[in-house]
Amino acid sequence: MRAVTTSKKHAELRRPDGQAVRVLVVDDESTLAELMSMALRMETWEVRTALDGASAVRTAREFRPDAVVLDVMLPDFDGIEVLRRLRAEQPNLPVLFLTAKDAVEDRIAGLTAGGDDYVTKPFSLEEVVLRLRALMRRTGVTEATAGAELVVGDLRLDEDTREVHRGGRSIDLTATEFELLRYLMRNPKRVLSKAQILDRVWSYDFGGQANIVELYISYLRKKIDAGHEPMIHTMRGAGYVLKPAP
């Protein structure tokens, strides 16, 4: 595979308590896992590796990572099952999937299962670093939140506790769903294009994969609008808008 060591100097990211960011790398190719570990350690992050699903679950239980780089294809059980087991103990753990270039079904399965992002092989190590940095920034791993509450109609989002309620009902969101909803709620009644959403929520160009926005909008609708008058609307050819229900 193509692997390039990181050469750009990034601003240092640390956990809100000042400790080093912890990342777990899970890949059955030991050489690749070590290359990724070296690149991540150059960011001053603490890194552990695992070569199969069982050891990944054991390591995560002891290491308590802030983010995970997770290969879909593993020798014992697949990355989807690893994700399920990790999230059972750390529900908001950010996960970046690694998938084969032509395995579209793997990417869809990973995102549907709750993965926050993915990169396809072959990839550069710089890309993995950039995506992890963006993922940890948007999920609040590396910065303290301001503690503001956003309110649109009967929908409430607490940026400190990361709790979401509509009509008094608690709504559980993944890290990416939360960030997408926060962006929509910070711009009520404003039409946001797919390009704007990609830039703000994912922090980079998905390389033509703008349908990822459609996928996550559909997830939000099922959780936010289910049983209520819809708040999230599609403006054909323009984008999406969130506004109070009538």
pLDDT tens readout for residues 185-244: 988 999 999 888 887 787 654 454 668 889 999 999 999 998 899 999 999 989 999 999
How many angstroms separate the Cα of 235 from the Cα of each of 6, 77, 187, 240? 40, 41, 15, 6
72-101 mean pLDDT: 88
Q: What is the pLDDT of residue 19?
A: 81
d(CA 86, CA 68): 10
Q: What is the pLDDT of residue 103?
A: 57
Contacts of residue 32, Cβ cutoff 8 Å, sequence gap at least 6: 1, 3
Residue 50 has pLDDT above 80, yes or no: yes
State if pTM tops 0.85: no
Strand order across the beta sheet in which 149-152 lies: 149-152, 155-158, 164-166, 169-171
Which range has the top average pLDDT, 54-63, 120-129, 162-171?
54-63
- Asked whether the beta carbons of 194 and 215 are under 8 A apart, the reply is no
Domains and CATH numbers, the chain: 22-139 (3.40.50.2300), 149-242 (1.10.10.10)
User: Looking at 12-16, 119-123, 190-194, 230-234, which range is the least confident one?
Assistant: 12-16
- DSSP 8-state symbol, 162: -
d(CA 244, CA 152): 6
- Reduced to 3 states, what is the DSSP secondary structure of residue 21? coil
pLDDT band at residue 6 using 50, 70 and 90 as cut-offs: very low
d(CA 119, CA 90): 22
Q: Which comes out higher in pLDDT, residue 245 or 2? A: 245
